[in-house]
Amino acid sequence: MKKPIVSRDLLKLQFLSDPQISPDGKQVVYAKTHIDESHRAYKTDLYLAQVDAKQSERLVVGAGNPVWSPDGRKLVFVSDRSGSRQLWLLNDGFGEAEKLTCMRWGVSNPQWSPDGKRILFISAVGKEDTPELLRKELGKDEREQLKQEQLDQAYVVDTLRYKMNGLGLLPKRTGQIFVLDLASKEVKQLTSGEYTLNAPNWSPCGEYIAFVSNRQEDPELHPNFSDLYVIPSAGGEMVKLTASNGSTSSPIWSLDGQQLVYLWHDRQYGGATLPKFYRISAQGGDPVCLNTEMELSIGVSANGDSRYGNGSMKPVWATNGYIYFAAADTGYANLYRIPAEGGTIEQVSQLQGAIYSFSFDNQGKRAALALTDSLNPGDLYVFDLVSKENVRLTEVNTDLLSNLALSTPEGFNCPSFDGTNIQGWIMKPVNFEPDKKYATILEIHGGPHTMFGDSFFFEMQLLCSLGYVVVFTNPRGSHGYGQKFVDGCRGDYGGGDYQDLMAAMDYVIANVPYIDEKRLGVTGGSYGGFMTNWIVGQTDRFQAAVTQRSISNWTSFTGASDIGSYFTEDEHKANAWDNPDAMVKFSPLTYAKNVVTPLLILHGEEDIRCPIEQAEQLYVFLKRMGKTTQMVRFPVSNHELSRSGRPLLRIARLDAMTGWFEQYIPRA
């Protein structure tokens, strides 16, 4: 008999990411992460899968970010085995890895030149860094000395962007593009200046590198604007190709190197604007939109709490003249394509689940996919673009999950107050008995511009194992339902989105006989935490609530969050200095006096995205008014606690949440 999930089963999960298929399509290297025996750290290794044999073996211990050489005979990767993140090379036939870089501040984003003779990467540069200093890796003692020196120095702030969730106060350094010549070992810096950049990409001839950067006169006031640039790979003047009036991302070159395709939008709907594909000459000129009716959420997957590590969702310009990409739609994330000359978008894969990373072979015949679904955190698949066959190459968590009782989500659709269709899912408790009534918990996703769907959620499975029904939906503001829908909550937080959630609860209560409407709970994190706070200030229909990494006061969030200076105005179409009344209107703290639902507040001490002062304000207000509340603070934890936080603290978070629900809405 299968066992119900317990919170400590999380420690046994393994997480697959970043599948990179070889140029000939015969092998895939991927990253696999596990939690170490101390239960205090994550360890990532690289594995090599043989596509036809369906076999995998461990290739490198303690490494990530693998990239094949153009001929498929070598592999470069990033590892901190020397003390900091540096490039390492596996040569022909593999064997022992060779260290390639000794950069002072480490490296990221390696990419081979088309001829396999050079590798570009990104490395940070500070104002005081000389070329000689940059090329000398910090030793252990030097790193410790720098850390101690920083503790004795004041940190002067004169920019809006000075801290970031997961990093804390940002060092006074900026990422720059470097090129390593493998023969001479010479490292050449191509870019400079205090500007952010990303997505560097070699031209097919190897003479140029395209990249995206925000180099406006006032980049801090327009942090989400960016342009497409091209720079000679041997060094020289960069050329700006686009017109500084929107957000640019993911540039890819045509096979002949004469054109580039990239994603762009004019921020008409702020951060909710869906990008479209544009094509432009490598010499500049007027860009051409490939499809004006884009309604897909490109590069978006379904939310999950059981992944670790990064991977590419970058579009691919294939040899058949199509641009291939992944996109989210109605709870799934699949492959799509569009002609490079423009035209109709076609869905390429019809997979159940959600792709969260992919890569293509050189001929555009096979794609390596990292794919999750509601019963599996993620495995490696190889998708044949001709036959549409999708072959599973790994079973990373099968031994664990095959012995655990899992709940399969069942989909539903319901009309909201204005007739808008809302998609949702319901999960039955394990050992379900149809004649019983069950306590039910509404889960609300963060974002708000993200998407629930066919993706594994350990938290939801745990609640079902404890005997709860779980309901989750995509209210307006979510990805996967077109431009109007994803923009639907901007300027109306707590309006239509709140009513969508209540409509979903009304629907399941009316149509699902085993739900006990007198034992209802609600929980969510980030935007989902905001909405949890909002809900308990608007209605008493829930008997228990757990708010996680939440927002309670938009005025203080504007000044305290790492994204507050632009996110608040973007989402509310108002700012705190010109329209303080709007901030009060949209802040759950305003309605704290109405709260009757017992509320547990969970928050990480080092959360800079939704700072802990948001939790503190809400807790003090509720406690001062005699409400039933408790706050649990998690040390050394940031906004990613539930997804990649310290493992034992992830368990503590789950136990605190389930304990609160068991106290106020007992499962039986």
User: What is the tens place of the pLDDT at every residue in 125-161?
Assistant: 999 999 999 999 999 999 999 999 999 999 999 999 9
Average pLDDT over residues 417-422: 98
How far, in Å, CA of 63 to CA of 33, rounded?
10
In tens, the pLDDT along 562-619 reads 999 999 999 999 999 999 999 999 999 999 999 999 999 999 999 999 999 999 999 9
**Each residue of 202-255: pLDDT tens digit?**
999 999 999 999 998 888 888 999 999 999 999 999 999 999 789 999 999 999
Check residue 534 and report its DSSP letter: H
Q: What is the identity of the amino acid at 412?
A: F
The pLDDT mean for the chain works out to 97
Q: What size, in residues, is the chain?
A: 668
What does the block give as tokens for 486? Answer: 């994803």
Query: What crossing angle do the helices spanning 527-538 and 496-511 adopt, rounded to 10°?
Result: 70
pLDDT value of residue 510: 98
Q: Does position 668 have pLDDT exceeding 80, yes or no?
A: no
Res. 382: pLDDT tops 80: yes
Catalytic-role residue among 265, 572, 639, 642 = 639
Per-residue model confidence (pLDDT) at position 310: 80
* Residue whose structure tokens are 């389930």: 658
Tell me 2's DSSP state: P
Please give the Cα distance from 332 to 411 (Å, whole number): 12
Decide if pLDDT at 342 tops 80: yes
Beta strands in 319-430 (DSSP E): 322-329, 332-339, 346-347, 354-360, 366-373, 376-384, 390-392, 404-405, 410-415, 421-427
The active-site residue out of 297, 455, 478, 526 is 526
620-647: average pLDDT: 98
Q: What is the dihedral of CA 167, 169, 172, 175, to 10 degrees?
A: 20
Helices 647-664 and 458-465, axial angle in degrees (round to 10): 40
List pLDDT tens digits, range 88-137: 999 987 889 999 999 999 999 999 999 999 999 999 999 999 999 999 99
Report how far residue 467's alpha carbon sits from residue 439's, in angstroms, rounded to the nearest whole number.
8
Element (H, E) at 181: strand 173-181
pLDDT of res. 222: 87
d(CA 470, CA 439): 9
In whole angstroms, give the CA distance from residue 552 to residue 265: 30
Percent helix, strand, coil in the chain, to 5, is 20, 35, 45
Distance of CA 116 to the CA centre of its chain: 31
Q: For residues 454-479, give the mean pLDDT.
A: 99
CA 452/CA 302 separation, integer angstroms: 5
Per-residue pLDDT, averaged over 71-94, amounts to: 95
Domain 420-664 has CATH 1.20.1560.10: no
pLDDT of residue 37: 87
On whether the CB atoms of residues 659 and 7 are closer than 8 A, the answer is no
Q: Which of 270, 208, 200 is nearest to 236 (CA)?
A: 208
Best CA proximity match to 438, nearest among 465, 413, 401, 475? 465
Helix (H, G, I), strand (E, B) or coil at 69: coil
Among 180, 273, 215, which Cα is nearest to 482's?
Answer: 273
Our answer to whether residue 247 is catalytic in this structure is no
Read off the pLDDT band of 294 (50, 70, 90). confident
Percentage of the chain lying above the pLDDT 90 cut:
95
Active site residue 226: no
CA 433 – CA 435 distance, rounded (Å): 6
CA nearest neighbour of 476 among 506, 436, 503, 505: 503
Domain-wise residue ranges, the chain = 63-192, 420-664
